[in-house]
């Protein structure tokens, strides 16, 4: 991919990027970490067990985003719920979670075009920031090994801020730490409607939805752009391309 030069009328030059399933291949990291941790305890991660864990974990993360549970509750109960459902005894679920998070830290595989996209935006003069929910030590290990960090001016992990996406307080924390921050010049890019796009709405910044799985667009949630690949992002930011714009007000 050729380097795209900065456009004269570039609207966005503060780019806020989600980490998991936007820049980083979280499903790959998660699966490898689960397999390794299960094997260390002489267990086998079968597809039905994997599916059950996904249901439990995703449900807890939704509750966390909605402030119904704390991060500590999420991390301490997800494997406890899994083992209780499966009838597995004799395993310290909190210790199992710590081992899983350590193994998760090895997952540094990036999403398609993540490197090229970040390089182009960085070379064009954009300031890039990572905004991610999660455990700080795990996320930073993964990002440090990804090869992406030279392009970024900062990383903001929810655990370190005391808040999480989509809370406005999290974005206020981030914006206060970005020099010369201007909401009109910022674009939030992410795959999650409930944390990234809803968070951008609460924070008063434009949003670009990375719709990887061809989902139906939601009603009533303002999305400035929708893309299916990071390959499309530089055209939007550097050239003001409107070809990926969706959700005009007249659409119902």
Query: Catalytic residue numbers?
Result: 18
Is the C-alpha dihedral spanning 134, 138, 142, 144 positive or negative? positive
Is cis: bond before 166, omega within 30 of 0?
yes
Residue 181 — φ and ψ, nearest 5°? Answer: -70, 140
Q: Supply the DSSP symbol for 215.
A: P
Angle 211-213-219 from CA coordinates, rounded to 5°: 55
CA distances for 129 relative to 43, 114, 117, 148, 191, angstroms: 39, 13, 13, 11, 16
The answer to whether the beta carbons of residues 26 and 132 sit under 8 Å apart is no
Residue 10 — φ and ψ, nearest 5°? Answer: -65, 120
């Amino acid at each position: 991919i050729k380097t795209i030069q900065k456009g004269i009328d570039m609207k966005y030059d503060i780019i806020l990027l989600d980490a998991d399933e936007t820049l980083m291949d979280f499903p790959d990291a998660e699966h490898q970490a689960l397999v390794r941790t299960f094997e260390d305890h002489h267990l086998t991660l079968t597809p039905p067990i994997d599916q059950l864990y996904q249901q439990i974990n995703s449900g807890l993360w939704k509750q966390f985003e909605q402030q119904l549970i704390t991060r500590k509750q999420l991390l301490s109960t997800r494997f406890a719920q899994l083992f209780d459902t499966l009838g597995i005894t004799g395993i310290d679920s909190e210790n199992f979670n710590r081992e899983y998070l350590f193994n998760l830290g090895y997952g540094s595989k990036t999403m398609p075009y993540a490197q090229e996209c970040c390089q182009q935006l960085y070379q064009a003069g954009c300031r890039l920031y990572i905004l991610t929910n999660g455990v700080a030590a795990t996320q930073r290990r993964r990002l440090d090994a990804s090869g992406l960090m030279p392009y970024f001016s900062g990383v903001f992990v929810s655990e370190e801020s005391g808040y999480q996406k989509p809370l406005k307080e999290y974005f206020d924390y981030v914006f206060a730490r970005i020099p010369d921050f201007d909401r009109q010049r910022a674009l939030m890019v992410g795959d999650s409607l409930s944390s990234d796009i809803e968070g951008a709405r609460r924070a008063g910044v434009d949003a670009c939805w990375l719709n990887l799985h061809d989902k139906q667009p939601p009603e009533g949630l303002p999305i400035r752009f929708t893309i299916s690949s990071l390959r499309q992002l530089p055209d939007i930011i550097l050239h003001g391309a409107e070809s990926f714009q969706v959700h005009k007000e007249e659409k119902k």
